[in-house]
Amino acid sequence: MEYVWRERYQALVVAAYAGPALRALYPFTSHWALRLSATARPRLTVVGPCLSAYGDGTYGVGRGIIGQDLGVFTTAREAVALPVHHLPDGLAPVALGG
């Protein structure tokens, strides 16, 4: 079972990295969720929705951690397409969070 989770989670991370808008942000993960930040650690500036992989083979996109209020998708590619439309305008390259 753990292998299936890792495989789905990896698909989510790979799909997010494939898009230039999301690849330009600082990714961080926790609890099978992928979040994006406009700044790197130590202080993160979270932007866009949270992306989650679920054990049933779906992917959720939501405003909160492990949420799905913005949608549930059957593929990682579909799930990462949504956050691009929820990013704020004028994001600069990732800076050190401090």
- Across the range 36-46, mean pLDDT stands at 92
| CA–CA distance, 98 with 87 (Å, rounded to integer) | 21
What's the confidence (pLDDT) of residue 94?
Answer: 86
Nearest C-alpha neighbor of 53 from the set 61, 41, 45:
61
Q: Which pLDDT score, from 0 to 100, does residue 1 have?
A: 52
User: What is the arithmetic mean of pLDDT over 61-75?
Assistant: 88
Domain that holds residue 89: 2-96
Q: Give this prediction's pTM.
A: 0.85
Q: What is the mean pLDDT of residues 62-69?
A: 82
Say yes or no to pLDDT of 15 above 90.
Answer: yes
**pLDDT at site 3:** 63
- Total number of domains constituting the chain: 1
